[in-house]
Structure 1
Amino acid sequence: MGPAAGGDRRADGAAYKLEGHLARGDEVMALVEPILFMRDGLLIARGLASRWIDHGAFDLVPALRTDLHVEVPRAEAEDLVAELHALPRLPPLELPDELQLSTLDAAPTPRVALRTIARTPWSPGKYEAALSFDYAGAVVAEDAATAALYQGSERRIVRRNRGAEESFARRLERAGFKWEYDYSTSRYARRIAEAKGEAVAFQLTVDGWFVEFEGHLLRTAGELTVEVQSGIDWFDLGASLSFGDGVSASLPELLAAVKRGDRTVRLSDDSFGMLEGDWLDTSGFLAAAGTIVDGKLRFSAKQLGVLDVLLSAMPPADTDAAFQKAREQLLHFDGIKAADAPEGFVGTLRPYQREGLGWLNFLRQFGFGGCLADDMGLGKTVQVLALLEERRAAGEGTSLVVVPRSLVFNWEQEASRFAPRLKILVHGGPERRRGISHLKEYDVVITTYGTLRRDVASLRAFEFDYAVLDEAQAIKNAGTEGAKAARLIRARHRVAMSGTPIENRMSELWSLLEFLNPGLLGRASVFGTLVKRLEGQGNAEEREQSRTLLARAVRPYILRRTKAQVTPELPERLEQTLVVELSPKERALYNELRDHYRSSLLGRIDAQGLAKSKMHVLEALLRLRQAACHPGLVDPSRRGDSSSKIDTLLLRVAEATAEDHKVLVFSQFTSLLSIVRDQMDAAGTRYAYLDGDTRDRQKVVAEFQEEAECKVFLVSLKAGGVGLNLTAAEYVYLLDPWWNPAVEAQAIDRAHRIGQTRRVFASRLIARDTVEEKVLALQESKRDLADAIVRADNAVVSSLGREELELLLS
C-alpha cells in the first residue's frame, strides 16, 4: 500500500488544496483511517496490520491526517510540485489541468568533476571524481535519491535511467577510478592516480562526457579555419580552432601552449580546449618557424616551402591570388627544366649537371638559397662554375667562393679548365693588405674559411652577387666563429656545396639553412626541440610523420643526386671489411689498456658524471684505437714491433702492385702512416705521401696520377678525405675506422668518381675484438636519420651514452 496525492484549486482561486490517501490497486483508504501510522512503514487499519511504502512524503502525513488537506498558496504551487518530484520514489499525483506535466524519458549524459587531492608524505597525488548526469539540461548527482527531475519551464518531468547511470559508473571503474575511504570527511570517494588522471579525463571528453578539471570545463576541438594573406615579401597565416559554444583559440595561442608542453589551451570563457589535432602533433613544429604579427604567423617569401607543407597538413585554406600563384610555381619544382651551359663554358655538362644548373636558376628566380648535395665525385664544382660563368656573361658582378685551404688550388685549376673567361682572385696572404675596393674588378674571389673568419669585418662591407660555400659542412656548428662569419656575408644569392650536409647531428641542418635562407626554420632553439623529437622523443609514428614533413619542407632548398641515380655507367665499387687477428703481444697490450680504462673510467663517470669525464673518455678511446693498429702508437719504443694490421696491409699492397694496380691507403693517424712509410722504404716501394703539412698538394697528386712507377699513395684522412681526384687508384685501404661513415665514404670516393673507368675495391682493416669492431656497430645503429631528411647515405653519431661507452670498452 502506498500514498497518493492530489490537488484541487480553491473556489476563489487563491490557493490549491493538497489532499492525500492510501492506495493499493483499486482500493483507496483515507489517511485518517489507520489507528496507527508509523514512519518506519507500519500501519494498522480495519483490524489489520499492513506495510506501506514511503516515497519520502511522510512529513506531510500528520497535517493531512489532522486537517484532511493542506492549503498551498498559488504562488507556491510550482515549488511544491518540484519538491514532490524530488522525492526518492515519485508518488502517484493527481494535478489540476494547469499543473499537469508531460513525462520525458531521456538518455543521460555523464558529467564528471575532477579535483586534486593534495599529496602527503604517505600518499601520492590523486584526482577525485564526482559523478553526475545531465538529463535534457537538468543535472542530478549520482547519489541523489531523486526519482525524476522536474523542469517547470518545460512543463515536464524527466525520469532517471538508473541502468544507464550504472553503466557510466562502471566505465569510470574500468578507466581506473577506485573507491577509497576518506577519513577526513568520513565518506567514500572515487579516486585515480594523478599520473593517469589527465589521460582519462581527455578520453572521457572525447567519448562525449562533460568533464570539469579543477573547475574548468574540458572541450574537444572542432573545426579549424585557415586563411593566408600575402604581403610585400611575406605571407600571413591566420587560423582559429573552434571549441564550441562560440569559443576558439588562435594559432599563436595554440603554439604557445604547445611550446610550454601543455596539452590544453585556456579559452576566453575560462574553459580548457584539448590539443589533440593530428596536424598539431605532426606539423605544429613547422608553424613555430613563423613570427607572430598581429595575432597571425608571418612567413617570409623564402619560407614558402615551409608554409606550403604546413598548409598541406591543415584543412583547406582561404588564400589570396598572390599566394596561390606563388604556391603553384613552387608545386612545379619537380618539373624544373635543365639549363644549357653558357657560351663561355668549356666542356660538356652531363644531363644531371644541366638539371643542377636549372635548379640553381630556379632558386635565384624565387630568391632562395640552396645546397647542392650531390654525391662526391659527381661534379658539384663544375655545375657551380657553369653558374658563375653565366653570371659573368650577364654582368652581374663579383661572387665569393669560400673553400677549405686544401681546395684553393683545385678551384683555380678547375676554373681555368672549364670557365677560363672568369677573372679569379685568391683573397689570402699578402693580397689581403689591399683591402676590398679592388674586388669589383674580379668575377670570382676565392678565399678560405680561416681568412673569412679573420676578415669578415671588411668583407661584409662588400655586396657579392653569389656567396658560395664549398664543403659547407665546415659551418655545421652554428655557434662557431666560422659559421657566424658566413652568415654575415652580404650577397644577393647563396649556394652551399656539400656531399654530407648532415655529418653527425640533425642540428647541423639548421646552421646550413640559416646561412642559405635566414629564418627558414625559425630560431635555433625551436629547431633544437624538433631535433630532440626526431632523434627519439615521442610517438614513433608521429616522429616518422614529422621527418617526412621536414624532408618536404626543405626539399626545394637541397638537391641531392647519388651516383646510382645519375651515373649508371660508373664502374662498380666493391667494399669489404678485413678482420685482422691481433698477435699475442698485441692482444696483451690491448687487453691491459682496456681493463685499465674500463675500471678507472667507469668509476670516474659514476662519481663525476659523463659530461665532466669527457676528456678522459676521449683519451681512452684514442689509446684503444691506437693499440688496435700498432703497439708503436701507444709506446714509441715499440715502433719497430710487428703489427698484424700493417702486415696484412703490406701483403695486400704487394699483391695489387704486382698486378700493376694503384693503391690508396688512408689513416687518421699520421704516426701510423709514418710506420707504413718505413716499411715501404725498406721494401723499396715507391709511394706518394700527403698529410696536413704537405704544401704542394697538386704536385703530389700528379705524381700518383700520372707516373706509372708510383703505385701507392699514403694519405691522411683529414687532409685528403675531400677535394682530391685520384681516379688512377683501383684499391683503397682504410687502416682505421671512424665514427662517421660519411667521412670514410668521402675517402673511398677519391677514387670512385667521374673519370674512373675501372672497378674500385675498398677494404676496411678491423682488429677483431677491439674498439674498432664496436665503432662499426655504432655506425650501423646511427645510419637512419640524415637519410630521411636529405635522401643521402649519411650517418648520424650522437654523443656517447654510458651504454655505448660500456660497449666500446667491452
Structure 2
Amino acid sequence: MLLCPPKARSRLRRLPHFWLLHSSEIFPMADLNDAMSDPQGDPEGLGLDLAISPAGRVYLEIAHGISGAPAAPAATRIRKAWERGAAHGLLQLGAVELVTALPPSLAFGREFAHLFMVRLTALAALAEDWANVELPAPRAELEQLAAAAPPMTGAEYLDGPVLDAWWVDMHTAVREDIAASGCAIDSWLRGKHPSWNLVGRVCFHLAENKGNELAPFAFLATCASHVSKDARVQHVPLGRALHNYSQAQDRAGLLKLLLPVHKAAERSPWLKSLVDEGKVFHPLAWSPPEAHQFLRNVSLFEASGLIVRIPDWWKPRHPPRPQVRVQLGQHASGIGLATMLDFKAELTLDGEALSEEEWRHLNAAGDGLVRLKGRWVEVDREKLDAVLAHWKTVQRSAAADGISFLQGMRLLSGAAIEGDAPAAPAETTAEWSTVVAGDWLHDALAELREPGAGPDPQPELLAQLRPYQRKGVQWLWWLNRLGLGGCLADDMGLGKTVQVLGLFSLAKRERDPGPHLLIVPASLIANWQAEAARFAPHLRLLVAHPSVIPAGDLAALSRHRLADVDIVVTSYASVARLPWMADVQWSLVVLDEAQAIKNPGAQQTRKIKTLSSRVRFAMTGTPVENRLGDLWSLFDFICPGLLGSAATFSRFVRRLADSEHVDYAPLRRLVQPYILRRLKSDKRVIADLPDKTEVKAYCALSRVQASLYQQSVEALATQIETLEGIERRGVVLAFLMRFKQICNHPSQWLGDGAYGPHDSGKFARLRELTEAIAARQEKVLVFTQFQEMTGPLAQFLHGVFGRSGLVLHGGTAVKARAALVEAFQHEQGPPFFVLSLKAGGTGLNLTAASHVVHFDRWWNPAVENQATDRAYRIGQKRNVLVHKFVCRGTVEAKIDALIEAKLGLSNQIIEGGGETLLTELDNDELLRMVALDIGSAMVEAKAG
C-alpha cells in the first residue's frame, strides 16, 4: 500500500516517527505556534506528507495533525493519484500541481518530478520515437536535490541512487499512462497543465564567435527536424523550416512550431522585438550586452517550451560571477562555543583573488558580460559593490576579536538563522559572495567528518571495538578537545554505550578532573551499570538514584562527596528533584535516549538545560534531523545558540517552507558536523556487524508488581514448609509461573483484564524500545510463552505504532498462518507481529523483521534461539537485534545471570527444560532464588 489511511494514523501525535513540522507538541511556546500557523487544508482535517521507507520507496502519509496541507481540491487530486502508485503520485505533483501551495515534503516531490518533466518534454521534442528512447537520470542534479531535501519521515534513506530509482519508475509510469490514454504525447501533456503544451521543436543556440572582438557571440534559431538512424538530432534553420511548412500548406504544423516562440515573445519584450523585425529567423552576430540579454532569459525560454543550447560556462541558476570570498577561521582563539574566528573578505573569481588591475578592469567594463581572466563572467556593479561594502563592514566590526564560532558556522553553512548578515539582502549576499573555512576551521571540520588517528581507549576499555565504533570514540574525543557538544545518533544496536564508555575512559586517562554526569531513563540504569562493569571496571560510578541511595542521603550529596567519582549516573526525573546537580560544575554531561528533551517547554527539559558543564553530548537512535522541533531542542542543549532562539528558528523554518525552491541544504550543513549517525544498512557498517546481536533489556517493577511479587514470595515460603514430593513440586511450579506472570503484568496474574500500561515495567520498557523502532520504520517480532498475553501486547503496540499489527498463537487457524506471514513480509505491511513461543517458534519465515523481543523468558536458550531464527535466517539482509526482557531483582534476573555465567545449575536448567529442576532445590536455595531485591527492582517506582 502506498497510502497510510487516516484510521491507521489516528494516534499520530503520539508517534515519534512522524515529522510534524508545525505541531504545537514540538514547539509548545506561543511564539512558535504563531509562526507556524496552519493554512486552510483538507476539510476532513487530514494533512499530507511524503515519506520514504527503509527500502527507498516513496509513499504518501495521510494523517490528522499534519499542518500545511494543500487546499481540499488539490489534496483530493493528490490522494487519488497516489492510489495509483508512487510514480503516478509524483507525476501529479510535478506535472499538474505546478502552482499549488504545498508543504515542504510535497514541494520536494514536485521539484523532483518537475525536473523529470522538463527532461521528458525535451526528449519528446527531439525524438519522434520517444517512448523507446531511454531518459537518463541527471545524476549530479539528483545528488544536489537529495542534499537539499526537507526533513521528512525516512529522509535518512534519501540519496542519489534512490532518486535514480524513482526516475526510472516515473518513466515507466508515463509510458503506461500515455498508452492507456490513447493520446499523442503533446495531447497528454496539454491534459496535465497548459504550460506543458508541446511544440518543443524550436531550438535557440548561442555560441562564442571568437574571431570577432566586437561581436564575440553568434545566435541561431533552428528546428529539430528528425532523428537520424544513429540517434543524432538533425537541425535545420528555423527560417527554412517555416518555408517547408508553407510549401506543404501545413498550417497546423506551422502554428505548432511557432507557438513556443510566440509564448516566449509575449513574456520577453527583448525577444518580441527580434521576432517583430524577423531577425530571430536568421543567424545573428551579437555583442556581449546582446548575448547577456539572451542568457538572462534562458529560464523563460525553456518554460515556454523552447529548447536552448548555450555555452557550458553559463549556468542559469548559478552564472559565473566575481564574488566576495569571506574566509573564516584561518586561526582561532579560545575553545568551544566561546571560540572567536578571524575574518577576511576579498574579491575573487573561481576562488582566485583578483588583483588591483583586474578590479580596475571590472570597474571600467561596466555591467553585463565581461571578459575577466580569460573567461566570460556576469557583473552587476551595484549588487557587487553592495555586497563588498557589507562584508567590509562586518570585517571592520570583527577586526579586534573576530566573530563568534556560532555566527561563523551559520555563515559557513549559508543558514542565516539569526540574521547574521543583515546589512545586505540575503538573496543578493548569497549570489555575490561565498563563505569558506580557513585553515584552522577547515582542519577542525575535516576531523569531525573523518576523525583521524587519536588516543586508543584500550587497554583500559575491555572491549574489542569495531572500526566504526573506534571512529565514533575518536569523533567524540575530538569534539571534547574542541569544547563542542555533539549527538551520537547511531542506529539501535551499533554500540553507542561502549563508544561513550570509551570517551569516559580517555577522559580519565587524560586526567580530566570530572566528575561527569550521565543522565539516562530510569529503566536503563541497570543496563549502564552492567555495561560499565563489563567493559570499563576502572571507572568509578556513583548511581545517584533512590534505588541505590536513600532519598535523604541522595538529597544531601555535595560536590565534596563527588571528589572520588568519575561518573555520576542518574535519571531524567532525578535531575529535576535534586537541586544540587545544578550547582556542580560538570566536565561532561551525557544524555542517553536524548529524545526525552525533545519538548523544549517541559520542566524536565528546562532543568537539564540549566546544568553547568564544559561539554555536552547526547545519544539517540531516532533520526532527530528529520524533526525540526526535536532538532532545535536537542541543539539548544548540545550547542546552545547555534540554531538561535526558538522564535528565530521558527521564523527561519517558516521562510524555508515558504520559499519558491525547496532547499534545506544550508540547515543540514549547519548541524551535520555535530551529528554522527551510522545506519545498519550502510555498507561501510554492515560488513563490520555480526548477523545477530543479543542485548538484555532490564525492566523495573511497578509498585503493584513489587507488592504482588513480595506477597507471592511470602506465600511460597509458608506453603513449602509442610509439603514434600510431588505435591511440593507442583506448588513450586505454580509459583514460578505466578512470578513470571506478575513480572509480565499484574493483570495477567489477577485476571482482571485491565492491562494498564503504567502498571508494568515491561510495558514501559517495550514502549521505549518500540518507539525507536517505529521511528526507524522497522519491524519487530514480539514473543511471549503465554497465549493470553498476545492480545494485550498487540493492543499496546497498536498505540505505539499507530497501526494494527498481527497476532499468532495456538488458537490461530493453520490455514490463516500463511496469509499472516505474507502480510507481514510485505514492505508496507503491519509493523509488528506478536507470537506465542510455541505456535510461532518454528516453521515461519519472518525476515521482514530486524528486531526480536522476548517479552518473557523460556529459561531455555535453545527454545528462544529457535524463535529468534524466525527473523535470523536465509533471506535476511539486515542485522537482527534481539532484545531479551529481564525484570531486575526477581527470579528472572537471577536465572538469567546463572545462564550467562554457565554455572552448573544453569546448565541443568538448560538441559532439563526450564523450571522443572528448580523444584529440586531445597527450601533455602529456592527462596533465595525467588526473593525480591526491592532496591533494584523498583527503580522507576521510586523515581523515574
Q: TM-score, normalised by structure 1?
A: 0.40
- Please say which structure displays the higher CA radius of gyration: 1
Higher strand share: 1
Higher relative contact order (CA 8 A, sep 6+): 2
Higher helix share: 2
